[in-house]
Structure 1
Amino acid sequence: MDPLDIVGNLSNIKPAYQPVFSAVKHDIIGYEVLGRIDHEGVWKSLGGFFQDSQVPDEFKLEVDTHILSIAIEDIMKHDDKKLLFINRNAKELMVEDGETFIEALQPFVERGFSLNRIVLEITEHDFDEDFESLNHLLLYYKTYGIQIAVDNVGAKSSNLDRLRQLEPHILKVDSKVLRDNDSSGYQDIIYSLSMLARRIGAALLFENIEDSFQLYYAWKHGGRFYQGFYLGEPSYHFLDPFEKEFLIKDQVNSFIRREKGVIEKRLEFVLKWDQCLRELLVHWDGPKRADSFLDKVTSNFNFESFRMYICDSNGKQISSNFRQRNDEWIKEPEILGTNWAFRPYFLENMMQMKIWNKGRLSDLYSDIETREMVRTFSFPLSDHHFIFIDIRYDFIYENESLLM
């Protein structure tokens, strides 16, 4: 439609509401407000209008303000305390130094509407604008209690520094990216975002959830809020807050059962390897005979491991590398004396093994040498010496519990 036809027919425009669900109580905590226009008897999305860079920002602002006013009126009549998620782009917000947005909200504040129920969504793409001015404006909005959400994080290589500086309340992750991207690379992005969210106190909201797998992914990766057609399509009225409670609760219970099974199986491997090494401890005769001890260990890990070695409590390697090649264990004495204490968590893991006197299994990580995803099982031989057994990728791949 022609932008002038849209701006000139505000009476044919109204908001649609897509519910946002909580991972805590499985209820609706708010609605994203989406624009719709009646075109020849058919309600159509205004997404194209708002995304068109050729449409003047003043036009978009006028339509957005109209939709926002109706949405707040609706939710106040409904006597609901739910949140309203409002989409705005940076240029639109910058009109008249951002005061237009506050002025549009002020009449409702005077009638008792609390601005902490507004979640203002901007996209990560908006960071390409004048970020400093945008950051100052959003800080100003925060003083009114308005919450900030950043949309489409993870769709590109996220600018984590700017996200950290902005400190939004919510990070919105697009679940569609799961289908469109290399899963291992996307896993790394999600991990980084979840760590950042924890550091800045932000919640993760997974949107565009269209099936059970995407809901599982959101749940497993710490999503506090869920949104998507699988749970609720946009509609022109507000729903019963617990309309999808049984669906979400049933799905989450199945996720929990599955996750417990995976964890239990993984711990069985840890206990098995721990017991194996405890039985072999009778052969441990100190650091001078470290290679001799490894000679006795290797045959017990023919299927699981491709490399093992022993370090002291300062991270210095006191044995050769024992590496499996063509079903034979080969010694690599040239590695003797190297120090691995620089690796993240290395010293902390050794201290935990020393204090708790039990083996530990690392998270999945990419081995620097082989570039394959591996895990390392480590075990205390004494208070000052520790064995490290690298688990081969093909064994991990064959055992789902080690992949997760």
Structure 2
Amino acid sequence: MLDPLDVISSLENVFPTLQPIYSADAQTIVGYEVFNCFKQDETKYALDAFFLDDTIPTEYRFDASMEIGKKALHVMEVHNFSGFFVFKNTIDVLLHDDYEAFTQLVDDSSFIQFDQIIIEIQEPDLQSNFEKVEHLLNYLKTYGYRLSISQVGIRGGQLDRLTQIQPNTMKLDLPLLRQQLSTEALRDMLYTITLHARKIGAALAFEKIEQEHQLQEAWRYGGRYYQGSLLGDKLNSIVTEDLTKLFLQEALGRFTIQERKRLETVQDWSDKFSDKLRNIVSKPVNLEALDNEIFQLAQHFTKEAFRFYACNEVGFQLSSNIEKEEGVWILKEEYKSRNWSWRPYFLTQILRMNREKTGMVSDFYSDIETGEWIRTFAFPLGQSTFLFIDLTYEYLYEHDYLLLSSFA
């Protein structure tokens, strides 16, 4: 057990270790995360607990952080490293001097640029101290520092607050999230985070990647940066020969081939689903008896769907909802005349169906009624009328290639 007093009294023994970070686009090392360590009697200790222990006076943790920062910057200079270094910070240490001492170190360097330094803060720490640190983070970004928020999604963080500080990177810890969430809940969260990252222009980073299936999951959800023992352990210095580049290139190539095959399978399924509808739907569809036509149609899709309805090309619902409750199809007339043009991708789907004259399946989205993530198959009925079929989760599960949206 490491005594914090040993660290405080022997700052010369604190030092950084570096874990390589790979990018999907370059398939090579583009940066390193700095881990805080301490050496005592030939034993190396991680200092994570030391820096998170708020019973240790902030100035002591600040001094240790500065010493490690100096040594890490020295490594960058000695190796003329042109990539980035990620420095983890707690809010109280960051606020101790508003990062002025570290900023002076970077400013004094003739080689290191501010945009090579990424300031990383854990999202739970950020959320509980947001008002204290928001202005400082935005101020530091004016120097050129980049900002990373780690442990995104842990404890159900508020993603809207990230919009206010516009981080450059959002980092996810897949093993930790998987411990906390069911498979379905994890997929929902990853999808939501991916959407939000795109919205604010943040790159996604995935840490603690230990197995290839975790790397594939990170790639599938749009991860740009990867790190973990699968790709490289923590080192005392910068790697001079990148032995993982070939492995990463081959892995991403396999993932791409597998995903292409899955998308081809989805397209084949979509074509067959459209053919089934064409063989059943009357031509032309009787708009005067639209509820009855859709009700009769629903009888052929008891296993596949739980809701049918039809809209015109500007989003107004022309039919009732035909919904399955306890295995029985019922009409809900109160949904007539509602407008769904505001839903994501609605107009895009309408334009594509008008042009391609065939059906298409949506990405996953949150159902207004149930709050569950679902997929909808849309099909042109003619006469500027479009049928929407909400697919059951059981059906998606049986056809597991549909459980992953084209987005992910």
TM-score for the superposition, normalised by structure 2? 0.89
Q: Which residue does the alignment assign to 1:395?
A: 395
How far apart, CA to CA, are the structure 1 residues paired with 2:152 and 2:374? 28
- SS of 1:11's equivalent? helix
Is the Cα–Cα contact under 8 Å of residues 188 and 373 in structure 2 kept in the other structure? no
Alignment of 1:55-74 (within 5 A): 55-74=56-75
Structure 1's 280 and 170: CA in aligned 2 closer, same or farther, altered over 3 A? same
Pair 334,281 (structure 1): closer, same or farther in 2 beyond 3 Å: closer
CA spacing shift, 1:298–1:30, aligned 2, 3 Å = same
Matched residue, 1:10: 11
Shift of 1:283: 3.4
In the TM superposition, what is the alpha-carbon distance from 1:270 to its structure 2 partner? 1.0
Retained in 1: the 8 A contact 2:362–2:377? yes
Is the counterpart of residue 98 in structure 1 residue 96 in structure 2? no
Determine whether 1:124 maps to 2:90: no
Contact persistence 2:28–2:242 (CA under 8 A): yes
Q: How many Å separate the matches in 2 of 1:23 and 1:284?
A: 49
In the other structure, the counterpart of 1:225 is: 225
Alignment of 1:324-339 (within 5 A): 330-332=329-331, 334=333, 337-339=336-338
Looking at structure 2, the residues matched to 260 and 293 of structure 1 have their Cα atoms a distance apart, in angstroms, of: 37
1:19 partner SS = strand
Structure 1 distance, partners of 2:292, 2:142, is 67
Structure number with larger C-alpha Rg: 1
Q: Give CA deviations for 1:131-166 in whole Å, capped at 9, x if unaligned.
A: 344222222322222111112111122222221111
Give me the whole-angstrom Cα distance separating, in 2, the residues matched to 1:365 and 1:195: 11
Alpha-carbon distance in structure 2 between the residues aligned to 1:13 and 1:100: 18
Structure 1 segment 20-99 matched on structure 2, within 5 A:
20-99=21-100
Q: 1:273 to 1:13 in 2, by over 3 A?
A: same
| Distance in 2 between residues matched to 1:66 and 1:303, nearest whole Å | 64
1:380 touches 1:386 (CA, 8 Å); kept in 2? yes
- Equivalenced residues, count: 401
How do residues 49-198 of structure 1 correspond to structure 2 at under 5 angstroms?
Answer: 49-107=50-108, 109=109, 111-128=110-127, 130-180=129-179, 181-198=181-198
Could you tell me whether the CA contact under 8 Å between 1:379 and 1:387 is conserved in 2? Answer: yes
Across the aligned residues of Structure 1 and Structure 2, the Cα RMSD in angstroms comes to 2.6
Range moving further from structure 2, 281-290 or 364-373: 364-373
Counterpart in the other structure of 1:381: 381
Opposite residue 289 of structure 2, the aligned amino acid is R
Contact 2:321 2:332 in 1 (8 A): yes
Distance 1:70 1:300, change over 3 A: same
Structure-2 separation of matches of 1:336 and 1:197: 33
Distance 2:131 2:303 in 1: 55
| CA displacement, residues 263-317 of structure 1 (integer Å, 9 cap, x when unaligned) | 1111111111222333445533430132453366345434423433333335444
Native 8 Å contact 2:172 2:207 kept in 1 = yes
Q: Contact 1:317–1:338 (CA<8 Å) still a contact in 2?
A: yes
Q: Give the aligned residue type for 2:125.
A: D
Q: In 2 relative to 1, CA 355–239 (structure 1 residues): closer, same or farther, beyond 3 Å?
A: same
Preserved contact between residue 90 and residue 129 of structure 1 (Cα < 8 Å) = no
Which structure 2 residue ranges, 5 or more long, are not aligned?
Answer: none
Does the 8 Å CA contact 1:354/1:383 hold for their aligned counterparts? no
Distance in 2 (CA, whole Å) between partners of 1:375 and 1:123 is: 33
Counterpart CA distance in 1 for 2:224 and 2:332 is 50
Aligned residue identity for 1:271: D
SS at match of 2:17: strand
- 1:353 Cα deviation (Å)? 2.4
Bigger CA drift: 243-252 or 283-292?
283-292
TM-score by length of 1: 0.90
Native 8 Å contact 2:154 2:177 kept in 1: no
The 2-side partners of 1:336 and 1:126 are apart by 44
Q: 2:246 matched to 1:259?
A: no
Instruction: Report what 1:242 is aligned to.
Output: 242
Verify the 8 A CA contact 1:284 1:293 in the aligned structure 2. no
* CA distance in 1: counterparts of 2:8 and 2:332, whole angstroms: 77
For residue 99 of structure 1, what is the amino acid of its counterpart? E
SS of 2:198's partner is helix
Sequence identity of aligned pairs in percent?
A: 32
Contact kept, 8 Å, 2:15 with 2:71, in 1: the verdict is: yes
CA offset at residue 375 of structure 1? 2.4
With over 3 angstroms needed to count, the CA separation of the structure-2 counterparts of 1:370 and 1:156, relative to structure 1, is closer
Determine the C-alpha separation between the residues in 1 that align with 2:160 and 2:124: 14
**Residue type matched to 2:68 in 1?**
I
Letter of the 1:238 counterpart: I
Deviations, residues 366-399 of structure 1 (Å, cap 9, x unaligned): 5455666542212111142122223222221111
Structure 2 partner of 1:301: 301
Instruction: Check 1:269–1:53 CA distance in 2 against 1; reply closer, same or farther (3 A cut).
Output: same
* Rounded Cα–Cα distance in structure 1 between residues aligned with 2:390 and 2:196: 29
Question: For residue 287 of structure 1, what is the aligned residue in structure 2?
Answer: 287
Q: Which moved more, 1:167-176 or 1:329-338?
A: 329-338
1:48 Cα deviation after fit: 1.8
Q: Is the 8 A contact 1:378 1:388 kept in 2?
A: yes
- Does the Cα contact within 8 Å between 1:353 and 1:359 map onto a contact in 2? yes
**Cα offset for 1:204?**
0.9
